[in-house]
Amino acid sequence: MWSDIIREFADSPSQSRVAGFLLENGFGVNEEGRIVCNGIEISATKVAKAIGTDRRVVDATAHHILESPSLKEIFTNMRATPDLSLLAGPLGLSVITVIPKDARERGIVRATVEVVANDLNIRQIFVTDPILSEEPKLVIIIDGDIPGNVIEAIKKLPQVKQVIL
């Protein structure tokens, strides 16, 4: 997917930046060329301000996306989901953030989930894409408190650089 985006926007770094921002935030493009989040329109001016570009670049990016069949399929189907890690305290949840040694290595999620799922109820998992994020991470939200033995077991995984609670 990312290679398609890079290729499509090779001649426009500013549009590439807009497309990356849309992906990172789960924003899509509707059939009218408007930026949307789960069907709700977001002004191009607000998106432009958030990334330090001009509104016209955002509009041009949205129209460019609609002209490309592969990008159109991706961005017209984009959906955002709530990040429960920001609500953990009030909801009685705990958050484990795992920083991998090499985010491109396979099996990081599987190994971590195997440790966590033995003792805990997982409510949500999300992984930041190593291509889109400067510091990729695995975030696991669980019911209740995290036992010390689970934290230690995650720290011992060969793929893990750091565990943040």
- Indicate the domain borders of the chain: 2-76, 84-164
Q: What is the pLDDT of residue 1?
A: 63
Give φ, ψ of 155 to 5 degrees: -60, -30
pTM: 0.75
**What is the residue whose two structure tokens read 């990016």?**
61
Name which of 96, 114, 92 is nearest 151 in CA terms: 96
Residue-wise pLDDT tens digits, 1-36: 666 777 888 899 999 999 989 988 999 999 999 999
- The DSSP secondary-structure symbol of 135 reads S
Fold entry, domain 84-164: Alpha-Beta Plaits (3.30.70)
Residue-wise pLDDT tens digits, 128-164: 877 767 788 999 999 999 999 999 999 999 999 999 9
Element (H, E) at 23: helix 13-25
